[in-house]
Structure 1
Amino acid sequence: MRILKHIWTGFIVLVAIGVFIPMLIISVFVPIPETISKEREIIT
């Protein structure tokens, strides 16, 4: 049971890293409000 718990925690950590690090990089390099405002300008 302990092994399964370690596998689950490791899987969750990997998923969190795979999701949050790209989001952080995107938020650092591309400010989100500017992109949204640009998309709105293109749409309208």
Structure 2
Amino acid sequence: LVYLFIFHYNFIRPHGSLNNYTPAKVAGFASNSLDKNSWFSAA
């Protein structure tokens, strides 16, 4: 359950302090919404 929270926090949830980007996008991890959905399903 903790892993799902961490995944959601870093890859799905946009952050206001990061200009509404996810931490993963700011760090340079490229993804699209289809990938995000499949990652979440796999987790």
Q: TM-score, normalised by structure 2?
A: 0.29
Q: Larger Cα Rg: Structure 1 or Structure 2?
A: 1
Structure with greater proportional helix content: 1
